[in-house]
Amino acid sequence: MDKLPMKTFMKDEFALLLGILTLVFFKTGGDSLLADGTALSTYIPVSLALLGVVTWAIFSVVRHSDALAIKLGDPYGTLILTLSVISLEVVMISSVMLTGEPNPVMARDTMFAVVMLIINGLVGFTLLLGGWRYHTQLFNLDGVKSYLVVIIPLALLCLVLPNFTEGGTIGSMSKAMSWMLIIISILLYGVFLVVQTKSHSHFFVDADHEDHEEHHGILRSNAYHTVLLIGYLLVVILLAKTLAMPINYSVATLGAPQALGGFIVACLILSPEAVGGFKAALNNQLQRAMNLYFGSVLATIALTVPAVLIIGSVINQEVHLGLSPADMVLLITSLMVCKVSFSSGRTNALHGATHIVLFIIYLFLMFEHA
pTM above 0.75, yes or no: yes
Closest of 174, 119, 54 to residue 298, by C-alpha: 119
Q: Rounded to an integer, what distance in angstroms lies between the CA atom of residue 204 and that of residue 76?
A: 10
> How high is the pLDDT of residue 184?
94
Contacts by 159-163, CB closer than 8 A, 24 or more apart: 159/108, 159/111, 159/112, 159/115, 159/301, 159/321, 159/322, 159/323, 159/328, 159/331, 160/322, 160/323, 160/328, 160/331, 160/332, 161/322, 162/320, 162/321, 162/322, 163/322, 163/323, 163/328
Encode the chain (370 residues) as per-residue pLDDT tens digits.
566 667 777 777 888 999 999 999 988 888 788 776 667 777 888 888 888 898 888 888 878 877 887 777 767 777 777 777 777 677 767 766 665 567 777 778 888 888 999 999 999 999 999 999 998 999 989 999 999 999 999 999 999 998 888 765 556 678 888 899 999 999 999 999 999 888 888 888 775 544 444 555 677 788 888 888 888 888 887 887 777 778 767 767 777 776 676 677 777 778 777 888 888 888 888 988 898 899 889 988 998 889 888 888 888 888 888 888 999 999 999 999 999 999 988 999 999 999 999 999 999 988 876 5
Helix or strand run (H / E) with residue 137: strand 137-138
DSSP string, 155-171: HHHHHTGGGGS-SSSTT
CB–CB of 150/189 below 8 Å? yes
Give me Rg for the CA atoms of the chain.
21
Residue numbers of the domain that contains 160: 4-369
**Structural domain count of the chain:** 1
CB–CB of 69/78 below 8 Å? yes
CB–CB of 14/227 below 8 Å? no
Tell me the CATH number at 257: 1.20.1420.30
Hey, what amino acid is at 74? D
- 112 Cα distance to chain centroid: 11
Tally of CB atoms within 10 A around 254: 8
Residue 210 burial (C-beta neighbours within 10 Å; 0-12, 13-18, 19+): exposed
CB–CB of 286/137 below 8 Å? yes
| Per-residue 3-state assignment (H helix, E strand, C coil) for 288-304 | HHHHHHHHHHHHHHHHH
